[in-house]
């Protein structure tokens, strides 16, 4: 800031100085001061407004100031409607500030232009899941997987939804697909064990609980699962052995 103050006295019309000052203030946590500098930078060069807005939105995105970012991004999107990525960035910003209706609206607008973006479908699935619109969430994840069958996040989340809806047979199939891609996932093994437990298949449940423990013995969920299975089988002492691991 000391160096920038000196530069400002030399080149008071240079918008890059005020962008740098705004960035520094943002990094120091002074978002009000940062916004003041960014707005001032926009008055300094009428021919570079789009570039200045792009830099400002990039800085605010990197600093996670999404609420402050949104008005700049809307302005940039209006000036550059041909750049569809602005729709995506705006949808993501609204998602971060938990304005899910606006986020969905902009993701859908983006997908009208870029229907083969698996990341946009995946993000849309996350929002629908948060809103407990599970059918729409799974449809979005299915679109993401149709575009990119290696999108493990979409696959894992789809399995979780099916499990939470007590659709255990379908969840089992999805978790197995996931483990083919991510064979070292102790989380998927644990959830798979839970699904088999709910399907009254304790032997397969124990198999996957033990495999999860082999990968991550410090995780409590598979130990708890083994304890419950032993308890339900009347093996009280064995159950205590597992439950003491929690």
Q: Model's pTM, two decimal places? A: 0.88
What's the token pair of residue 213?
């423990």
Alpha-carbon span 241 to 110, nearest angstrom:
54
pLDDT at 47: 84
Helix (H, G, I), strand (E, B) or coil at 133: coil
**Averaged over 179-191, what is the pLDDT?**
97
Calculate the CA dihedral of residues 72, 43, 45, 93 and round it to 10 degrees: -10
pLDDT digits (tens, 9 = 90+) for 33-51: 999 999 999 998 778 899 9
Q: Where does the pLDDT of residue 11 fall: very low under 50, low under 70, confident under 90, or very high at 90 and above? A: confident
- Match 């993701």 to its residue by tokens: 107
Question: Exposure string (b/e) for 48-80, b if CB count within 10 Å is 16 or more?
Answer: ebeebbbbbbebbbebebbebbbebbbbbbeee
pLDDT digits (tens, 9 = 90+) for 193-203: 999 999 999 99
Exposed (0-12), middle (13-18) or buried (19+): which is 208, by Cβ within 10 Å? Answer: buried
Alpha-carbon span 241 to 188, nearest angstrom:
24
Greater model confidence, 14 or 212: 212
149 DSSP 8-state letter: T
Alpha-carbon span 213 to 65, nearest angstrom:
40
What is the average pLDDT score of the chain? 95
């Amino acid at each position: 800031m000391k160096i920038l103050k000196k530069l400002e006295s030399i080149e008071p019309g240079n918008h890059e100085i005020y962008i740098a000052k705004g960035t520094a203030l943002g990094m120091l946590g002074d978002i009000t001061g940062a916004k003041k500098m960014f707005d001032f930078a926009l008055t300094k060069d009428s021919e570079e407004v789009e570039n200045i807005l792009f830099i400002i939105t990039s800085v605010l995105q990197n600093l996670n100031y999404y609420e402050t970012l949104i008005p700049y991004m809307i302005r940039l999107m209006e000036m550059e409607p041909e750049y569809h990525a602005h729709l995506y960035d705006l949808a993501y910003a609204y998602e971060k500030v938990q304005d899910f209706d606006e986020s969905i609206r902009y993701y859908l607008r983006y997908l009208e232009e870029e229907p083969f973006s698996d990341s946009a479908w995946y993000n849309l699935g996350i929002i629908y899941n948060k809103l407990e619109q599970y059918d729409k969430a799974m449809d979005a994840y299915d679109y993401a997987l149709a575009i990119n069958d290696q999108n493990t996040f979409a696959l894992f989340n789809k399995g979780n939804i099916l499990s939470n809806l007590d659709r255990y047979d379908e969840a089992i199939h999805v978790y197995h697909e996931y483990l083919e891609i991510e064979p070292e996932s102790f989380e998927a093994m644990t959830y798979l064990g839970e699904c088999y437990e709910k399907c009254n298949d304790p032997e397969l449940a124990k198999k996957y609980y033990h495999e999860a423990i082999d990968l991550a013995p410090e995780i409590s969920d598979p130990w708890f699962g083994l304890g419950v299975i032993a308890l339900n089988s009347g093996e009280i002492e064995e159950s205590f052995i597992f439950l003491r691991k929690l």
